[in-house]
Amino acid sequence: MPVARSGAARYLSVMKVRDADILVVPGYTNSGPDHWQSRWQSKLSTARRVEQTEWSKPVREDWTASVAKAVNEAEKPVVLVAHSLGVAAAVQAIAQFRKPVAGAFFVAPPDVANPKVKPRHLMTFGPYPREPLPFPSIVIASRNDPFCAFDVAEDIAGAWGSLFIDAGETGHLNADSGFGPWPEGSMTFAKFLTDLKA
């Protein structure tokens, strides 16, 4: 994994998997069994998936409500692990959170303000808020993601106050682009988790 390029986040003390409710938030059409999110979920003892009623016809209000419900039902501080449209759903749900979120690990956020990006469902999840997020976060983006230009992802991460990581030319960072096993991502997440406040 290339080094971080920009952004800053303040991490406070040590957190372990058992200290957190890890919420896996997939994107459009869900994450299949070979996707890194599914692999991580099976290995992390406190991880569970935020399920959506309509994975192929995402409705912003429904998706954000599902994320908020999962956060608000959590018994431990939440760590969000979101990919693609799951990032947009998680960020748009923040105002509905009633339980503490310790941090967020955001991968391949889509450009929800670009009318040329398909599917058109993405546009309904925009625009992104520009205020700093109320918890530490990482944004990992690819230089050739078909759903978001690299400079757009970098700008979003800067607005959110996220640590921004350049993943190089890695497509959409999903199973189709070879990211089933993702050891670099797993190591980055492990470091992020241990730096969070328990």
Each domain of the chain, given as residue ranges in start order, spans 4-195
The strand ranges marked E within 7-77 are 21-25, 47-49
Phi, psi of 25 (to 5 degrees): -120, 95
- Reading the block at residue 112, the tokens are 């929800």
Q: Domain 4-195, what architecture? A: 3-Layer(aba) Sandwich (3.40)
pLDDT at 181: 86
Q: Which of 131, 136, 196, 127 is nearest to 160 (CA)?
A: 131
Residue 34: DSSP 8-state: T
pLDDT string in tens for the chain (198-residue length): 444 444 434 434 578 899 999 999 999 999 999 999 999 999 999 999 999 999 999 999 999 999 999 999 999 999 999 999 999 999 999 999 999 999 999 999 999 999 988 888 889 999 999 999 999 999 999 999 999 999 999 999 999 999 999 999 999 999 999 888 899 999 999 999 999 976
pLDDT at 198: 62
SS3 121: helix
pTM, two decimals, is 0.92
pLDDT at 65: 98
Give me the DSSP letters along 136-194: -EEEEE-TT-TTS-HHHHHHHHHHHT-EEEE--S-TTSSGGGT-SS-HHHHHHHHHHHH
* Strand 4-6 to 21-25 pairing: unpaired
Here the contacts of 54-59 (C-beta below 8 Å, separation 24 or greater) are: 55/26, 55/28, 55/29, 55/30, 56/28, 56/29, 57/121, 58/28, 58/85, 58/89, 58/121, 58/124, 58/125, 59/124
Give me the DSSP letters along 58-116: --HHHHHHHHHHHHHT-SS-EEEEEETHHHHHHHHTGGG--S-EEEEEEES---TT-TT
Distance CA 158, CA 98 (A): 25
Residue 119 CB neighbours (<10 A): 14
